[in-house]
Chain A
């Protein structure tokens, strides 16, 4: 495999584990906790968000030299909201049961940090194909994290998988897993496992401090980097 195709593959794979938006970057926590009570709703949410992420990344990347810096955030939000509304209309028309299942969280994809974050940090600075791969990788990473969380919560909390009852677990349900505290518990557990597996491989916090912060251009402070450096100095001392 030549250097260019290796780079393309690594852009795609970044979002799956190394820079997993949910388990490493800790973005999109609200839909993750809300939609991970059942596998079907988690996968549906993941696919919807991936679709919006890929489409918005492509369009934003295409328009990156046209959109003035001053209006880039409102422009990104309009583009993302447009795609979310399209997905909403199509689901409502052709998959109404899925539309009802996703409820208000479908519309809330508009303000999903992962999508706006990738638009600002990646699509606005890179070419169309790379942005597509980044969107796809990040979207699948989001779907994977949701699927893992939903599987644990549904199997052990509700004794079922994708709505199919698991008979031998019926009397051993841990009902709290289907509620908010159980969601946080599973979320923390998965973050810990990913940190352990990806030790030294996942992105370190300092790598996405000021340089990757969407507010860096109007913040004009290097507080995040200074804090990281201070901590490192203390550790060395």
Chain B
């Protein structure tokens, strides 16, 4: 009995000490992590809309957007929206960012991160690769019909499908965002 109590006590104390240490480290790093994440997200936004002034991160929790949409950023001078989409190609975690202007045309798009096969789908992250550049450039200026874009990227058909799925989700979210803005405009008037 005494042995059992000692076991429980020791394990509890270890758990408490570890939790307290983690709480202290979290206290010092939480803000830095939040800032780093925001900075990284906005940095990508500025890369997509090069002449943007500033961005706001829109709270999408109550908007009922497609579950692939993880973040929506609005350019404050009305140049458009940037959508961060978590899609899946050959593997999960194909993160795409897509900027759409107020007329519903793609300003720019980029693959931020992926777990695709190196040498194939993974190359879609590499902007120095000519094939990647041609593939992504074919989306610029296109509306939701996506007519005239390059369908498949190199030999990565599953990655291409995942990318296309992400762009379609961005357009769907864009229409919803426009509808929300129109509603808010009417309410303000």
Contacts and interface: CB of A to CB of B under 8 A. Distances in A.
A179 B33 contact: no
A100 B18 CA distance: 25
B22 A75 contact: no
A66 B14 CA distance: 11
Contacts, number: 69
Contacts of A157: 118-119
Given A78-B15, A178-B117, A178-B119, A93 B29 contact: yes
Interface stretch (A7-15, A83-91, A110-118, A208-216): A83-91
Contact of B7 (A63, A70, A82): A70
B144 interface: no
B29 A89 contact: yes
A108 interface: no
B16 to A, nearest CB: 10
Interface in B116-142: 117-120
For the residues of B in contact with A, the DSSP-based class is: helix
Nearest to A153: B118
A86 B21 contact: yes
Contact of A89 (B8, B10, B33): B33
B7 A93 contact: no
B31 to A, nearest CB: 9
Contacts of B32: 93-94
B115 interface: yes
A175 B10 contact: no
Given A68-B7, A78-B11, A178-B117, A92 B22 contact: no
Contacts of A67: 10, 14
Interface string B51-76: 00000000000000000000000000
A68 B119 contact: no
Contact of A82 (B8, B21, B117): B21
Contacts of A219: none
B175 interface: no
B43 to A, nearest CB: 11
A38 B122 CA distance: 12
Contact of B120 (A78, A94, A103, A175): A175
12 contacts: A67-B10, A68-B7, A75-B14, A78-B15, A78-B18, A79-B14, A89-B25, A89-B33, A93-B36, A173-B119, A175-B118, A179-B117
Given A96-B40, A100-B113, 13 more contacts: A37-B118, A67-B14, A68-B6, A81-B18, A89-B25, A89-B29, A89-B33, A94-B32, A96-B37, A103-B115, A158-B118, A173-B119, A178-B118
6 cross-chain pairs, A with B, having the tightest CB-CB distances, nearest first: A82-B18, A178-B118, A93-B29, A93-B32, A175-B119, A68-B7
